Amino acid sequence: MNKKRLLPESNGVVENAGAVWLALLAFAVLAIVPLFASRYALSVLILVFYFAYVGQAWNIMMGLAGQLSLGHALYVGLGAYIPALLWLHLEVSPLIGVFAGMGAAMLVAAVIGWLGFRFGIEGVYFALLTIAFSEVARVAVDHIPFAGGSGGLFLPVQAADKASILDLDGGPLLFYYVTLTLAAAATALVAWLTRSRHGYIWRAIREDPQAAEALGINLFAAKMKVILLSAAMTSIAGLVNAFYYRNLFPAQSFDMARSLELIIAPIIGGLGTALGPVIGAFLLTPVGEALIAITRLLGLDAPGTKGVGYGLILLAMIFLKPDGIWPWLVRKFRIRDRP
């Protein structure tokens, strides 16, 4: 095993004013992209920002605090279905419904956290616990008639000229800015959290829970906070999911494949870093699109070619750069991102 694999505690936060300016510049550039980008490019970027955002939400829990959840689709699903149902049946604006979704996600997260952290369920067992909850939700929602059941839930679209922010009804342009803002905010949050008191506490727990306890850290409280935060953030991604695609199926929303899908970007980009999920999303999404395009070109177009491609990339990454791309870049270009 090569020693250089030791991950420098890179936070993806290059600690100087230059980094902040760089980030603002990137944001500004991305903000004006819609002026000259095609509809297709916009839709790809929406996916990138979406996966960057939801990746950050998961990154906070796993990358910072070291708690492995493989059932995050549960929070996406709750954040999707509840605001969608509220809007569909009670005409509640999704901008308000999102809080109901968040509340539900946090409630379920509290139950999972309480069971896991109180009863000392850790590591792979905790991961399986999270999967179990997500699966129970999937089957349950499948059988709830007013949620559409397995037939799915459909959100009607207004006419194209009547875009409405209150109803989150708009084309790619609206969601471009929504997802961009979410991804940017989440990245800034992770960067800030890493150097904040909570970030230190979570990182200590990730490294060595017993040593952390000896330094006065209340493990249960800290872990509960992180799972609640992560769940709340993830549920907002569900809202975007619901109102962008305008249809929901339990098999899609709560499926374990969704849970696995959203963890790939942060892992490849760099777990525990602020830039990791962003880099991962920017790399993976276009690659996925390219894979689909290539297979169509070659006439293969079998369902599954994209999956094999992703699988091979993931396999290569975990063998060659298990810490992710950002830590590798930090090492290679000696980017100074430590105090």
Partner 1 sequence: MSVGLFLNVVVEGLTTGLVYGLMALGLSVIFGVVRIVNFAHGEFAVVGMYAAFLLFQAFGLDPIYAAVPIAAMFFFLGYVLQRLVINPFIGRPEHEQFILLVSVAMIVLNLLLMTFGPDGRPINLPYALDSYLVGPLIIDKARLMISVAALAMTLALFAFFRFTATGTAIRACADNLTGAAVVGLDVKRLYAYTCGIGLACVGAAGAMMITIVDVAPTLAPGYTLLAFIIVIIGGLGSLSGALVGGVLIGVCEAVTGYLFEPSMKSMFSFLLLILVLTFRPQGLMGERR
Partner 2 sequence: MTLLVVEAVTKRFRGLTAVDAVSFSVEAGEIFAVIGPNGAGKTTLFSLIAGALAPDSGTITLAGEPINGLRPDQIALRGIGRTFQVVRPFPKMTVFDNLMVGSLLRHSATSVARNRADAILERLGLMTQRSKLASELTLPDRKRLEVARALATEPKVLLLDEVMAGLRPTEIDNMVAILRTINAESGTTIVLIEHVMRAVMALAGRVLVLHHGALVAEGRPDEIVRHTEVIRSYLGTEVLG
* Binding region for partner 2 (CB under 8 A): 6-9, 195-197, 200-201, 203-204, 207-208, 210-219, 338-339
Closest CA to 247 of 174, 159, 156, 173: 156
The residue whose two tokens read 């880099």 is 279
- For residue 268, the one-letter residue type is I
Question: Could you report how far apart the first and last alpha carbons of the chain are, in Å?
Answer: 28
Residue 195 binding target from partner 2, partner 1, none, CB below 5 to 8 Å by type: partner 2
Judged by CB under 8 A, does residue 260 bind partner 1?
A: yes
DSSP 165: T
Exposed / middle / buried, residue 6 (Cβ in 10 Å: 0-12, 13-18, 19+): exposed
Judged by CB under 8 A, does residue 293 bind partner 1?
A: no
Q: Least distance in Å: CB of 54 to partner 1?
A: 17
> Closer to partner 2 at the Cβ: 272 or 280?
272
Residue 164 binding target from partner 2, partner 1, none, CB below 5 to 8 Å by type: none
Residue 247 binding target from partner 1, partner 2, none, CB below 5 to 8 Å by type: none
Angstrom distance (rounded) from CA 28 to CA 11 = 23
Q: Least distance in Å: CB of 338 to partner 2?
A: 5
Q: Which residue of 139, 157, 211, 215 would you call a contact of partner 1, by CB under 8 A?
A: 139
> Closer to partner 1 at the Cβ: 24 or 111?
111
Binding mask 147-186 for partner 1 (x = CB under 8 A): ---x------------------------------------
Residue 314 binding target from partner 1, partner 2, none, CB below 5 to 8 Å by type: partner 1
The residue whose two tokens read 């276009």 is 286
Judged by CB under 8 A, does residue 222 bind partner 1?
A: no
Q: Could you please report the per-residue DSSP string of 70-117?
A: S-THHHHHHHHHHHHHHHHHH---HHHHHHHHHHHHHHHHHHHHHHHH
Q: Which residue of 121, 163, 188, 329 would you call a contact of partner 1, by CB under 8 A?
A: 121
Angstrom distance (rounded) from CA 309 to CA 322 = 18
- For residue 185, the one-letter residue type is A
- 164 — phi, psi (to 5°)? -140, 125
In the chain, at which residue ranges do the beta strands (DSSP E only) sit? Answer: 153-154, 247-248
- 107 — phi, psi (to 5°)? -65, -50
Q: Least distance in Å: CB of 25 to partner 1?
A: 33
Residue 44 binding target from partner 1, partner 2, none, CB below 5 to 8 Å by type: none
Binding site for partner 1 (CB under 8 A): 1, 62, 68, 115, 119-121, 123-125, 127-129, 131-133, 135-136, 139-140, 142-143, 150, 256-257, 260, 267, 271, 300, 302-308, 310-312, 314-315, 318-319, 322
